[in-house]
Amino acid sequence: MTLRVLLADDQALLRGAFRMLLDSADDLTVVGEAADGAEAVRLTRALRPDVVVMDISMPDVDGLDATARICADPELHAVRILILTTYETDEYVAQALRAGAGGFIGKGIGAEDLLAAVRTIADGDTLLSPAATRSLVTRFLAAPDRSGSPHHPDRLAVLTPREREMVALVATGLSNQEIAERMFLSPFTVRAHVQRAMTKLDARDRAQLVVIAYRTGLVDPGDTAS
């Protein structure tokens, strides 16, 4: 299966370099390029890519706003957003996750790592490392949410005890492999539980699952993977 990628960056030179790199992979193809956030939203609706590689700093509509617009569109629910930016601050990471992005990486990433990142995001996983996840959630996502979004603990009632356990472990920054080793389960079984939890909670990806876990109080900001 070939993954379809849309590039959104206001620098044509960078878009060209990223396009050459992504098109060099047998399983990836760039289907379009956008120079600003508004164009990124328009092309996403028209082309339905699997992954949008999104810069933050763009004219008129920035990458965070464009991400929020894409993720809020029910018809684009399957589209994954990978933020690729020079602005690697915790605040931007938090805003990107709240907007619905599935991953956040810096433009200093290596070529092979970028290819792997696109594949990871397309697979529905978050790209943040366990340490970054814990730091981010502790500092920002555990803060009061003024958006008015419902995050009442009762929201977790749809989960089985095992699914709640899996969501809690995901929120502490553990990968599927690490959870499998801790719980003496296969990675496939862990992935199945996590995917079911995402479906029940209407979470686009693991990043949003982390947000829900902290917002509902399932995990305390002081909890860490150990």
Residue 47 has pLDDT above 80, yes or no: yes
State which of 78, 104, 126 marks the end of a domain: 126
pLDDT above 70 for 30: yes
Q: Over the stretch 1-16, which tens digit does the pLDDT of each residue have? A: 899 999 999 999 999 9
CATH number at residue 26: 3.40.50.2300
Is the domain of 104 the same as that of 207? no
Task: Please give the pLDDT value at position 144.
Answer: 56
Global model pTM greater than 0.75: no
Distance CA 226, CA 44 (A): 40
Q: Of residues 89 and 177, which shows the higher confidence score?
A: 177
Q: Which residues touch 101 (CB under 8 Å, ≥6 apart)?
A: 54, 67, 71, 81, 82, 83, 207
**Same domain as 120, residue 200:** no
Instruction: State residue 142's pLDDT score.
Output: 53
Q: Is 198 inside a domain boundary?
A: yes
SS (H, E, C) 123-168: CCCCCCCHHHHHHHHHHHHCCCCCCCCCCCHHHHHHCCHHHHHHHH
Residues 15 and 116 in one domain: yes
The answer on pLDDT for 128 being more than 80 is no
Instruction: Kindly indicate the confidence band of residue 65, based on its pLDDT and cuts at 50, 70 and 90.
Output: very high
- Where in the sequence is the domain holding 164, given as residue range(s)? 138-215
Q: Is 225 contained in some domain?
A: no
Identity of residue 20:
M
Is 55 in a helix, a strand, or coil? coil
Looking at the structure, tell me whether residues 17 and 103 fall in a common domain. yes
Same domain, residue pair 110 and 56: yes
Residue-wise pLDDT for 173-209, tens only, equals 777 878 888 999 998 899 899 989 999 998 877 777 8
